[in-house]
Amino acid sequence: LTEAAYARIAETDERIGAFLTLNEEAARVRAAELDQAGAAKGLLHALPAGIKDNIVTKGLRTTCASQFLSNYDPIYDATVSGKLQDAGAVTIGKLNMDEFAMGGSNENSSFRPVRNPWNTDYVPGGSSGGSAAAVAAGQVYFALGSDTGGSIRQPASYCGVVGLKPTYGLVSRFGLVAFASSLDAIGPITKNVEDAAYVLQTIAGHDRMDSTSADVSIPDYVGSLSGDIKGMRIGVPKEYMGEGIDPKVKEAVLAALRVLEDLGATWEEVSLPHTEYAVATYYLLASSEASSNLARFDGVRYGVRADDPDNLIDLYRKSRSQGFGQEVKRRIMLGTYALSSGYYDAYYLKAQKVRTLIKRDFDQAFEKYDLLVGPTAPTTAFRIGEQIGDPLTMYLNDIVTIPVSLAGVPAISVPCGFADGLPVGLQLIGKPFDESTVLRAAHAYE
């Protein structure tokens, strides 16, 4: 399987651009070890895996697709990287992304863009575009991505694969390079829902190395895929089916709802009234947290250091000016502004309060429904270059994934057909820590 993965990469990745670093030598040694008689057989035995390049891997270059970390070789494994190893997966390499996970098209990678395997003139989505494209192109069996405001679900949707963002805190963030710590979540990108259940089973669980990791017992996700969703109550947020949603995407979602109905579920419209404030709230909070998290990149502790500084301040300034790309700088400036004294109450604090209102919309809906269903993204993939000059349009692509991130609840994207030859994604959103229901419904649908 390892050889097949590298052969497929050799054949396709010049066009796709999913990988930033390959782990060929170590992967072959590892595969040979797993091949030996008597080798322990974990849940993911010998399966070729790709890991997004913001998840640290011991001794294997981890760049976050940033010039700043272009020479960074971590001295430890993220908790999830270790768990994959323990389960027998083979790390094939590190996957391309938007720099520091900021973006929704993979055009913000400072190395090269990723192309959508279904049509290479189109973006794969982002920021886990490399992860989604690698799975869609058959280069790896599964990949890990990270989702702060949609970065697993939206690229999964654009590339016609499955992407699961778990409940905040279910999967350890230890070793994930932080973007917005109160929102970041690691999850699987896979070819089907069953695979997603296997990978989640492997990576979920409490970790004392992450203070926000939840101490909850982990159910049998794979065992919950019974196919039975009779009597399941589904709410369809009307804000997710209204203005700005491509009619063809809406049509595909309505067709999927009919399938769920045939399987014995019932659905009706529900309102999440604060949806319209989600994008603004997210960009204030995520940028604020990013500006604080990215302060650690000073040219002293990590990555590339600028040459010939005049003094310490100049070293910081030069290293950060040279190391960060345009979008990352935009976020740092936005976030620093929102957190600055005099503006804090008006922006950051206000956004925190609105976040609570958005969370309450979900709490209320889940009093009545087991699941919320809608599109994953308002459109299918767009052309490379089409939106890159217009950050606001780009930000609006996450209009239906961001509220879920702000609420911290789990959601999956599964393929639900095509529009104009490109995949459409169906988003199924669950109660906190109720990944089992999300997976069961997605599996029954698929």
Residues that bind ligand GLN (CB under 6 A): 101-104, 127, 147-151, 179, 286, 398
Residue placing its CB nearer to ligand GLN in the complex, 146 or 436: 146
CA proximity to 52, closest of 152, 149, 137: 152
For residue 127, indicate whether it is catalytic.
Answer: yes
Q: Give 237-278 as a DSSP string.
A: EGGGSSTTS-HHHHHHHHHHHHHHHHTT-EEEEE--TTGGGH
Residue nearest to ligand GLN (CB): 151
Point out the catalytic residue in the list 151, 213, 287, 319.
151
What is the smallest separation between the CB atom of 402 and ligand GLN, expressed in angstroms?
7
Three-state DSSP class for 204?
A: strand
Show Cβ contacts of residue 253 under 8 Å, excluding neighbours closer than 6 positions.
241, 373, 374, 375, 416, 424, 426
Structure tokens at 301: 């502790």
Closest contact distance (angstroms) between CB of 395 and ligand GLN is: 7
Tell me which residue of 243, 272, 264, 269 sits closest to 254, measured CA to CA: 269
Shortest Å distance, C-beta 105 to ligand GLN = 8
Q: Least distance from C-beta 203 to ligand GLN, angstroms?
A: 17
Give the type of residue at 194. Answer: E
Residue (104 or 235) nearer to ligand GLN, CB? 104
Nearer to ligand GLN, 30 or 331 (CB): 331
70 is catalytic: no
| Marked catalytic residue, from 66, 81, 105, 127 | 127
Q: Identify the CA nearest to 166 among candidates 213, 104, 226, 100.
A: 213
211 is catalytic: no
Q: Which CB, 102 or 372, lies closer to ligand GLN?
A: 102
Instruction: Give the closest residue to 91 by CA, choosing from 127, 55, 126, 39.
Output: 55
Q: Give me 293's structure tokens.
A: 């998290």
Q: Least CB distance from residue 102 to ligand GLN, whole Å? A: 5
For ligand GLN, give the closer residue by CB, 150 or 408.
Answer: 150
Residues labelled catalytic: 52, 127, 151
